[in-house]
Amino acid sequence: MVLIVLFTPPGFFADNSQVIAPLPLPRNRLTVHPEDNHMHTIIIAGVQPFCIMVSAGDQAYIEEQLQRPITPLEYACFENLWSEHCSYRSTKPFLKTLPTTGENVLLGPGDDAAIVKFSDEIALAIGMESHNHPSYVDPYDGAATGVGGIVRDIISMGAKPIALMDPLYFGPITEEKNRYLLEHVVQGIGDYGNCIGVPVVRGEVRFDERYSGNPLVNVVSVGIVDPETYLTARVKKPGNRLVLYGASTGRDGLGGASFASRDLSEDAEAEDRPCVQVGDPYTEKLLIDATLEMAATGTVVSCRDLGAAGLAGASSEMSSSFGARIEADRVHLRETGMNEVEIMLAESQERMLMEVAEEDIPALAAILEKYSLTWRDIGEVTEERRYVVTFNGTVVCDLPIDLLVEGAPGEEWESRAYTKEEPYTAPEGDLKELCLAVLSHPDVASKEWISRQYDHHVQLRTVSTAGGAGLLRLGDSALSLSCGCSPRQIELRPYDGAANTVYENAANLACVASTPLCVVNCLNFASPVHPEIYWQIGEVVRGMGDMATAVGAPVVGGNVSLYNESDEFGTQILPTPSIGMAGKGPVMCYTLPEDGAILAIAGTSTPALGGSVLDSITGCGGPAPDVADPSILEKIRSFVKQGGFAADISAGGLVAALAESALRASVTLEGDAIPVLFDESPGRFLIAYTDESIAKELDAVEIGTVGGDELIIAVDGTLIRLTPQETQAAQNALTSVMYVE
């Protein structure tokens, strides 16, 4: 008999680990290997290491509910489905406060993806996921499978994926390890997206030392579907069959959900590699085409992607409105000798599960076989609300489905507010040098090295990827997409920073005359065990919800990623509530202002340099920005529709906005040079126009004109001259570091 070890919650280890269950496998295949005084890893001969982690409190609660010992598969199911990644144990009370409904929301949070009405003929399927820990352990496969997973969430709704966005966060680019991670994450996203024919139309990359050892890889996917015929991931009728199709199941990705719910250890790259899935984009492309063809028949009753917690997660969550009986030995396998825990919990990629009436299986099977996809009828929807799994004729799991899927006790941690804003100290140095330093900071510099690896125009819908938002043509209108956040500002003031994150994305849409439709998010934080972090989470969700309501963009879905800490670097990530926003507006090309156009600043804000790029470079400190007033957004939309140009002033401040939008111009500014040039407080826009009448409602302050041979800025008695060559050299800083002939 081999022992499975009991663990305390993620982030802690118990000195008094307890034996909780025997594993019914041949003794000659099993050994117990002590890694240290606190944990044991079960080694199965010929199998990757796999740990069962269940807290003592959970064990007592489960045993009380079931009144019997628990099988190894049941423990594995609870470990994964009750993990933070799947159950949102620490964050559910906060998430319930978010605005999730609206006139265009057809299906909100809780499914594989949300469904939002775009027009009478088109609905959007939209979702957002993180693949953070896997992307540190294996950046190429971790990022690639992150794309594959969120795309399958879209196709499970019967939707055709049409766009991707990728907000990314790394440690300083000056360090070789971080350059390696960036290189391979971008390659993984590009290769997978390009192979399946889905364009990456927007992205963000931020760099800070607190992401060293724990980069963040967040991905948004958007699809289109008929508003009347989209699928859902909830079963509809007892007696229907559950059909698994796609790639074969192997041992890759075992324990992936629980792996995503704990800190990264010093030896993560070696120890945790088995938790990282390996993707196959060519099979994914077949899945896309086959699923859409099957959905068009009207005989697919429901469908779900196999993601976190593998088949156990998909089949139990999908069947939670009724019950399910799964025959694990009927699953098609890539490897021999797999036991029931491996079969049910493996997170092998490119697999889907659908509910169909038994009489419709032959017709759907014919479609799958046309695409050379393997399928198996592995179970049925049951009337009784239980989750039952058999293996070789033996019941190896028999649980109340409500207990497994929705029964995880909440985790409420201590909360403690903090103050991190520092007094402002004016940075010393030449103003021109400060301008070039800000322009060359990788947060501000050109991301051409990244974007050139993505196919932006596959599917021929992309109108523009320039500026702050991507535009795709959908019928007579444009779908506008924006993503990202400002982590350093959020750390200083979590509520204000999160509210401004939503505002900034809405501002990006306003610059292409678009109105927000919805928001999805990835809430990335360190461990909620720390009182300051738990306070951050609550404040961020509150700020996000308030501004989402103010701009009319309900939060329709997302993901929570906690325990983003690195033992190796001793770092906790910045609070990073990365969001994706979708909007609707006119089809328009993003073009820079022409020579002779008047430059002006519209909107107002209180200067605040805390958390800015300048602060990152010089340590100047200062308060973080106040919450922006969204009332200006409608005026900006109207201005742009009339032919004006607008750019949101954000990362890098006004000097960055000028360098990106008016490389050759003459500008005169009033006030103290440092805040005037580098303040990133939201609420202001750099605008340009030739017809002054269209700018009247904005009450803008004119600052200069476009034209000339260089960017000339007169401010506070100083004349700054930036030649196009100097500006472009600064903006190419990231490319020059990463590009290899």
pLDDT in tens, 166-196: 999 999 999 999 999 999 999 999 999 999 9
Q: Hey, which residues does 5 pair with through a beta bridge?
A: 19
Q: Which of 417-421, 586-590, 659-663, 735-739 has the lowest mean pLDDT?
A: 735-739
Q: Is residue 16 scored above 70 in pLDDT?
A: no
User: Which pLDDT belongs to residue 567?
Assistant: 84
Neighbours of 627 (CB within 10 A): 19
pTM summary value: 0.90
The owner of tokens 């055709």 is 160
Q: Is residue 23 part of a domain?
A: yes
Q: Is residue 530 scored above 80 in pLDDT?
A: yes
Q: Is residue 39 scored above 50 in pLDDT?
A: no
15: containing domain: 3-66
Q: Rounded to an integer, what distance in angstroms lies between the CA atom of residue 117 and that of residue 224?
A: 10
Q: Is residue 32 part of a domain?
A: yes
Q: Is residue 670 part of a domain?
A: no
Q: Is residue 225 part of a domain?
A: no
Q: What is the pLDDT of residues 246-268, one digit of tens each?
A: 999 998 877 544 444 445 554 54
CB 68 within 8 Å of CB 42: no
Across 24-44, average pLDDT: 32
Q: Rounded to an integer, what distance in angstroms lies between the CA atom of residue 166 and that of residue 203?
A: 5
279 pLDDT band, cuts 50/70/90, is: confident
For the chain, how many helices (H) and strands (E)? 25, 32
Q: Residue 410 carries which DSSP code?
A: P
User: Which pLDDT belongs to residue 21?
Assistant: 34
User: Which pLDDT belongs to residue 33?
Assistant: 32
Q: Is residue 53 part of a domain?
A: yes
Among residues 40, 85, 133, 184, which one is catalytic? 85
For residue 544, what is the enclosing H or E element? helix 531-551
Q: Is residue 623 scored above 70 in pLDDT?
A: yes
Q: Positive or negative, the Cα torsion across 112, 116, 117, 121? A: negative
Q: Rounded to an integer, what distance in angstroms lies between the CA atom of residue 395 and that of residue 62?
A: 18
Nearest CA to 627 among 558, 702, 545, 698?
A: 545
How many folded domains does the chain comprise?
A: 1
Q: Is residue 58 part of a domain?
A: yes
Q: Is residue 414 part of a domain?
A: no
Q: Average pLDDT, whole number, for the chain?
A: 90
25 pLDDT band, cuts 50/70/90, is: very low
Q: Rounded to an integer, what distance in angstroms lies between the CA atom of residue 573 and that of residue 498?
A: 16
Nearest CA to 139 among 194, 216, 198, 84?
A: 216
The owner of tokens 């429901």 is 302
Catalytic site residue 85? yes
Across 125-144, average pLDDT: 94
57 pLDDT band, cuts 50/70/90, is: confident
| Structural tokens at position 132 | 């953070």
191-221 per-residue burial string, b: 16 or more CB within 10 A, e: under 16: bbbbbbbbbbbbbbbbbbebbbbbbbbbbbb
Q: Is residue 78 scored above 50 in pLDDT?
A: yes
3 pLDDT band, cuts 50/70/90, is: very low
State the greatest distance between any 2 C-alpha atoms of the chain, in Å, as a whole number. Answer: 85
Q: Is residue 27 part of a domain?
A: yes
Among residues 33, 40, 131, 184, which one is catalytic? 131
